[in-house]
Structures are given as structure tokens and as C-alpha cells.
Amino acid sequence: MKRQILQAGEAVLRQEARSLSRDEILDRPVQNLIEAMTNAMRDAPGVGLAAPQIGHPLQLAVIEDRPEYIQKLAPEHVAERKRRPVPFHVLINPKLIVEDAEAVEFFEGCLSVAGFTAIVPRHMRVRVECLNERAEAVEISADGWYARILQHEIDHLNGILYIDRMKSRSFSTQDNYMRYWK
């Protein structure tokens, strides 16, 4: 079953998601949800998807930045953003720790704010403590674009959209971004 990605204005996107217990994580409904989220993220296509984006207020996100997404970009954009492939993984009950307070600004989009983009400052290096889909403790250290993806998806779990952090004068349709900014 194809899942619809909810758009800005839906109440679930603005509430704090609840944590999952070990038993819930290992139970079939959450495992099915992870599979549905993975399919929705890849179908979109996107590099991350949080459970609230498909109507489930749970501390759960999936992430994957595939090589074919990066190959479409200009090499200078890839280098500037420190973007490299990120294998598929699941974040459950994540805790974000900023490791480098330096903020970098790049255009960012969101599957729940379809058709728009804006400049968003994000920390350059972060660490995330979370559980994976097997309810095992995981620690992730990330920098560059991967750190941005993690911050973006964890924001979703706290009821925050990138439009809350954006440089408002940069807010643009994707078409106008391609015409004027790119």
C-alpha cells in the first residue's frame, strides 16, 4: 500500500512524537511501518522520512542518501556540501548532540513542503544516540550533508519543519530556485 506524505498544515506534523518501547519496536506493526516508510521515501524520492510525515506521531525516521541522487549534482555542489552516500538506516527515539556549533547555510527542501525550498542554517557536525529497527543502541557521528539530514528528520519528530528555521527571504518555489538561485 502506497503511503501519502502529509503536507504542512496537518496537525501531526506540529506535535512532538512519542517514544517507542523495545517491545513496540520489535512488534509487527512498527516493523511494517518501517517498511512502508522506506517505500514512501524511495518512491518520493527523498533522503529521509519521519513517521509523522505519514500520520504516525512516533519517534521513528528512515534515512538513505543513495549514490544516484548525488551523481545528478554538480561536483562542486557535492564537495561544498560534503555530501556522500549514506546507507539505509532507521532512527528510533533519537537524541541529537551538536558537536560543532558552526552553522552552514544551504537550500533545503522537504517532502511535506512539496514544491518549495529555502536556505536553512544547520550544524556542520552532530552525533545521534538512538535505537535501530532491532531495538539495539546505536551511536551515529555525522558531518556535512548527512548531519543536515539527521537534524532535519529529528526536527520532524519534535514538530518542527524547516520553514521554522529558514532564512525567510530565501523561500522559493523549486522552479524559481532553478531559475534564479542554482
Query: Which residues make beta-bridge pairs with 126?
Result: 98, 142
Pick from 62, 122, 72, 133: nearest CA to 98: 122
Closest listed residue to residue 52, CA positions, set 165, 164, 155, 163 = 155
The catalytic position among 64, 108, 133, 153 is 153
> To which residue does cell 523495545 refer?
22
For 136, counting Cβ atoms within 10 Å of its Cβ (0-12 exposed, 13-18 middle, 19+ buried), the class is exposed
One-letter amino acid for residue 28 of the chain: R
114 and 1 in contact (C-beta within 8 Å)?
Answer: no
Cell of residue 153, nine digits: 528528520
Q: Is 153 a catalytic residue?
A: yes
Residues whose CB falls within 8 Å of the CB of residue 75, separated by 6 or more in sequence, listed in order: none
Tell me the CA distances in angstroms from 181 to 106, 119, 175, one per residue in order: 11, 11, 10
- Which are the catalytic amino acids? 153
